[in-house]
Structure 1
Amino acid sequence: MTSSRFFRIALVLGLLSAIGPFAIDMYLPALPEIGSSLDAAIGPVQMSLTVFFLALGVGQLLYGPVSDMVGRKPPLYFGLGLFALASIGCALATDIQILIALRFVQGLGAAAGMAIPRAVVRDLHTGNDAARLMSLLMLVFSVSPILAPLAGSAVIALTGWRGVFWAVSIAAVIGLATIAWVLKETRPAAERVESSLGSALRAYGVLLRDTHYLGLVFIGAFAMAGFFTYLANSSFVMIDHYGLSPTMYSVAFGVNAAAFFGAAQLNGMLCERFGIVRVVKTSVSACGLVMTAMFLYYLGGGDALAVLIALYFIASALMGFVIPTTSVLALEQHGAIAGTASALLGTLQMLTGAVVMTVVGFFTDGRPLPMVAGMAGGALIAVVLAWITLGGRRATRYAAG
């Protein structure tokens, strides 16, 4: 595959993957305003974010097997169409309960853009080439957490929080046009012959019995859970506790996101030189140490914003080495059911993030310590799982792929 075509595919898949997260990241600066506008407390406002994650996870269980049965493009059409309609409904919501319900539907639609692009990567490549394509996809995907909060702040300043949902509905329509005109089908009809509802259920059974696959999935899941905890709490901490404006909060958020996606671009080179397994184990261990240091700082009474931003910048960069590579390793041995394997991976990771966000939410008080505790806890669990999952002969065999 030529470099230009390689990047073009990454561009398309990255943009499709970013549409759902765009609906999260543009939304973050609006959380305090939504609470005021709809007369809702922090808990219900955060629930509108949590249910999106839940739907984003559960929905992938459907889209993955369907994409194995009917091809990658039809479920993308359906998902982005549903997302666009739900986004319009969110823009018109009059109370927090309606907004929460519509955010769930919106998440179900966005799930298509999360599960299927990973399957397309596996359709096209394995090993280091897959890691390189996944990292390029992540580079395009990075437009969401870097630019979306800033775009959200601008939209909110001009139109209020409802404008965010009109903006993401337009993004979904652009995504539909991209699928129709640019994306080629990567699941030929000949490869769908053996795919059915029964085969999908059997595939899920195979995956749920594959402890190596599950270990890799949950390494990424708990690494991401810390990020999800940051998503749910950072606007309240930085805007209400530290006094940042929504725009300055968006800049701080974007800096950390840039660290993640910038580091991810080194994955191809590092994996070729040191091996994927060594990259994962070293990076996740270093991330655990950094997050532990942050937790101890706040537990000891520290309260400097600069410490939070600096240490999480380092941790975000390290997660950029972990999350794309664990996805590649998890899908490596399941090419025949790549859509189903990608769906289960996405579902388990989103549900793990939603559970951690919910647990941390019980302790949220607008101060940094509960958020940092959840972030550090997720990182340390990922460290333990990495050394269990990637410590034996089987891990060495996977690394050679």
Structure 2
Amino acid sequence: MPQSYYKFFLGFVAAVAPLATDMYLPAIPQLAEMWGVNVSLVNLSLVLWFVAYSFTLLVWGSLSDRFGRRPILLIGLALFAASSVFCAMSQNVWQLIATRILQGIAGAGGASMVMAIARDRFEGKDRQQVLAWIGVILGLAPMIAPSIGAAIMQYGNWRMIFYAQGLAAALMLAVSLMLYQETAITLYKAGVFGMAARYGRLMGNANYVLTNASTSILSAPLLGFVAFSPLAYIQHFGMSRQQFALLFAVNALALVVGSASCAHLIHRFSDHYLLTVTLVGSLVGGILVLLIGHIAWIWFLLSAAMFTYFFGMSRPLVNHLVLEQVNDDIGAASSAVICSQFLCGAAGMAIATQHWQSPFLVFGALATLCPLATLLLWPWILRRIRTPHTAADILQPEPPPVG
């Protein structure tokens, strides 16, 4: 596959899983009514999808270090297409939950390969550009997925949503079969214990663990916002569902613009300088949510948009920084990064949606404390990590090239 095609290929593979999480959200109330069950039971198909997705990322990533990226990518996409059809054929809520778990396992196969292939194929600024593009796709996919699902239901039914997901995966499978060739340079011949040993080696890599843990916590307020925003806009500010969808899209757009800005700015400024800016910007956004977010919807919108913008800018830089700390076990390392981000995000969702007496205070504290913790650790991280830049880079941008 030509080098220039990779960012589009990886972006579309990365979009498959986010589309699966959000496309069927408009159908959940109808499914609960049709099957005569509580909405929370249907929502279990979403929660367990995330659980299956997060933990099987670790398995797929390690398997790709053993057997290569290509077979894992192909198996993941094929299984995703098949499981989507099984979801569409569900006759009751328990069948839907079971098939959604299978779909989550399959979705992790393709998603875990995206960063691993980017790490195999690109270096330095080129990799950051690819990761920034992937960040744009990952921001757009959940933003448009509910609208796609609602449009499908308007002209069809809920089963068509899952058939559409299966079709998307089948198309990416066909493209992968025709164009993608193996990118893993070294394969590790080991069994189950060898797979476990790879994660053991990763846990023994202090720089990898430090950078991954200290930056994954930034996902907690982001996914916390996804869960908290309906409560804020609809229940607290009295918005309609249509108004909520529009305002949520504005915040999602801020995430996309942040990722796109990163792709442009990495050619002018050092990684460390940009990461410092994103951490400070996220912190300021969190403080604004804490102080004024509850006053009016416009203040909540703007302060949350500031946080999501800087988070979007930080994500490609963070992923690049973490993966720079490893030379081997790239598939396992990439999967562990995504897994830790999703688990922190799930914790943020749980915290933000509890029945707090002052929910804006709790969410604002979450949005403030997470970037603050990373920012406080940042000087120490810079002294420890293996990187060609120095800690002085955080004080000044790189000079533009002459001529």
Indicate whether the TM-score tops 0.5: yes
Q: Is it true that 1:217 corresponds to 2:216 in the alignment?
A: no
Which of 283, 301, 304 matches 1:309?
301
Which of 315, 320, 324 matches 1:328?
320
- With structure 2 as the length reference, what TM-score do the two structures score? 0.85
Superposition deviation, residue 62 in structure 1: 0.8
Q: Structure 1 residues 378 and 195 mapped into 2: Cα distance closer, same or farther (>3 Å)?
A: farther
Superposition deviation, residue 5 in structure 1: 4.3
Identity of aligned residues (%): 25
Superposition deviation, residue 240 in structure 1: 6.3
Which of 247, 257, 265 matches 2:252?
257
Q: Structure 1 residues 355 and 338 mapped into 2: Cα distance closer, same or farther (>3 Å)?
A: same
- Give me the whole-angstrom Cα distance separating, in 2, the residues matched to 1:291 and 1:148: 26
Aligned runs of 1:361-400 on 2, under 5 Å? Answer: 361-363=353-355, 370=359, 373-374=362-363, 376-377=365-366, 380-395=369-384, 397-398=386-387, 400=389
SS at match of 2:355: coil
Corresponding residue of 2:155: 158
- With structure 1 as the length reference, what TM-score do the two structures score? 0.86
Q: How many matched pairs?
A: 389
SS at match of 1:51: helix
User: Structure 1, residues 199-227: CA drift from partner, whole Å, max 9, x if none?
Assistant: 43222112213333223223442222223
Give 5+ residue unaligned stretches, structure 2.
391-403
Superposition deviation, residue 181 in structure 1: 1.5
Which of 52, 59, 66 matches 1:69?
66
Q: Structure 1 residues 343 and 168 mapped into 2: Cα distance closer, same or farther (>3 Å)?
A: same
- Give me the whole-angstrom Cα distance separating, in 1, the residues matched to 2:89 and 2:359: 33
**Which is bigger in relative contact order (C-alpha 8 A, separation at least 6)?**
1
Corresponding residue of 1:131: 128
Superposition deviation, residue 29 in structure 1: 3.6
Superposition deviation, residue 396 in structure 1: 6.5
Aligned runs of 1:196-275 on 2, under 5 Å? Answer: 196-235=191-230, 238=233, 242-246=238-242, 248-275=243-270
- Give me the whole-angstrom Cα distance separating, in 2, the residues matched to 1:396 and 1:266: 25
The answer to whether the 8 Å contact 1:215/1:389 transfers is: no
- Give me the whole-angstrom Cα distance separating, in 1, the residues matched to 2:5 and 2:69: 17
Q: Which moved more, 1:77-86 or 1:324-333?
A: 77-86
Q: Which moved more, 1:285-294 or 1:95-104?
A: 95-104
Corresponding residue of 1:118: 115
- Give me the whole-angstrom Cα distance separating, in 1, the residues matched to 2:25 and 2:9: 25
Corresponding residue of 1:167: 164
The answer to whether the 8 Å contact 2:207/2:325 transfers is: no
SS at match of 2:7: helix
The answer to whether the 8 Å contact 2:290/2:363 transfers is: no
Q: Is it true that 1:287 corresponds to 2:282 in the alignment?
A: yes
Structure with max Cα Rg: 2
SS at match of 1:398: coil
- Give me the whole-angstrom Cα distance separating, in 1, the residues matched to 2:388 and 2:246: 37
Which of 89, 96, 110 matches 1:92?
89
- Give me the whole-angstrom Cα distance separating, in 2, the residues matched to 1:238 and 1:168: 29
Give 5+ residue unaligned stretches, structure 1.
none
What letter is aligned with 2:201?
A: V
Corresponding residue of 1:352: 344
Corresponding residue of 1:297: 292
- Give me the whole-angstrom Cα distance separating, in 2, the residues matched to 1:19 and 1:119: 16
Corresponding residue of 1:11: 8
Q: Structure 1 residues 125 and 93 mapped into 2: Cα distance closer, same or farther (>3 Å)?
A: same
Superposition deviation, residue 351 in structure 1: 1.9
Superposition deviation, residue 121 in structure 1: 0.7
Q: Structure 1 residues 252 and 284 mapped into 2: Cα distance closer, same or farther (>3 Å)?
A: same
